[in-house]
Amino acid sequence: MRFDRHLAVSSRRVIGAGIATLLAFVSLGFFAAVPAGAQTASGSCGGIASDYEGTPTLVANPVTVVPGNPVTIVGTGWPANAGLDVSINGAYAATVTTNAAGSFSFDYQVPANTNSASIQVSVVCDPVAQVLSLQVARAASSSLPITGSNSFPLVAVGVLLVLAGTVVVVAQRRWSSTRRSESSVS
């Protein structure tokens, strides 16, 4: 009976430690969501967008981007004199301000190590938002990719076997012709 009570106390301790560990991970994950020193969105539409009835647009120049090269994002039809939050692939990139006509321009340098097939540009002036998907071009390869296997060793072995077979056949014929000559002389 003493063993059962000891087991129950140990089980409660293990469960308690597990819950404490889980809570620690959750709280660390919650506080780690915004790294120290990270920029967060700070654009403000100042209530302008609540009455806004226009149709905002986003256009990229060039339409297809190349890693390491710049791209210009041009927006039109946005609320006038408003602060817009720009995010690249979900990460805050900048705050831009529209002019009196509701237009803006934003230059972005595509990282040279970009591996994705597209880049998502989001512009938000709450509740107005637009997303533009940019296609990433791959640099042309200077050589064809290597496919299949290297067959040189197999070809070399094959040639050596053919040569060895030829030597054996020639040697056999000479030996046979020599034996015939010797037997006909006798």
DSSP string computed for 111-136: -TT--SSEEEEEEEETTEEEEEEEEE
pLDDT the model gives residue 44: 53
User: 153: cis peptide before it, omega within 30°?
Assistant: no
pLDDT the model gives residue 71: 92
Average pLDDT (90-117) is 90
pLDDT the model gives residue 141: 57
Average pLDDT (145-154) is 79
**Residues with Cβ < 8 Å from 131, sequence gap 6 or more?**
58, 120, 121, 122, 123
If you average pLDDT over every residue of the chain, what do you get? 75
CATH-assigned architecture of domain 49-136: Sandwich (2.60)
Instruction: Inform me whether the pLDDT recorded for 15 exceeds 90.
Output: no
Q: pLDDT higher for 60 or 10?
A: 60
pLDDT the model gives residue 158: 87
pLDDT the model gives residue 74: 94
Confidence of residue 55 (pLDDT cuts 50, 70, 90): confident
Closest CA to 137 of 68, 59, 91: 68
Q: pLDDT higher for 110 or 41?
A: 110
pLDDT the model gives residue 180: 75
**Whole-structure pTM value:** 0.51
Please state, in angstroms and rounded to a whole number, the distance separating the CA atoms of residues 131 and 88.
10
3-state SS assignment for residue 13: helix
Q: pLDDT higher for 3 or 162?
A: 162
